[in-house]
Amino acid sequence: MALEITDANFQEQIADPDKLVIMDFWATWCQPCRAIAPIIDQLHEELDGKAIVGKVNIEENSELPVKYKVRGIPTVVFVKNGEEVGRQVGLASKAAFDQKIAELL
């Protein structure tokens, strides 16, 4: 399972600024979010030690969606050295995520 990233634990969870951080913004009622959830969990396992992969529930956290200007879900935000370096809005395949991550690592 991907890490649970919250407004409260955000700084602690991404303590290593050199690693790529992948945050999936989602909600329980969002069907496309459920569709990509297994991909996010798989990326968490595959990228262990190389990147930080987590999920942000927008219903329970209000600061992070505002900070990253999330307007629709699912939105996956890629952050490196504290700066956003990429974004995927809506459904995407595992191959699309793999390609984007390969470019950013």
pLDDT (tens digit per residue) in 15-73? 667 789 999 999 999 999 999 999 999 999 999 889 999 999 999 999 999 999 999 99
Quick one: average pLDDT of 64-84? 93
Residue 101 contacts by C-beta under 8 Å, 6 or more apart in sequence? 20, 22, 43, 47, 51, 78
Residue numbers annotated as active site: 30, 33
pLDDT bin (cut points 50, 70, 90) of residue 13 is confident
Give the Cα separation of 36 and 54 in Å (integer). 13
Q: Give pLDDT, residue 82.
A: 82
Q: Give pLDDT, residue 41.
A: 95
Instruction: State the pTM of this model.
Output: 0.92
Q: Give pLDDT, residue 91.
A: 92
Which domains are assigned to the chain? 3-104 (3.40.30.10)
Give the Cα separation of 101 and 104 in Å (integer). 5
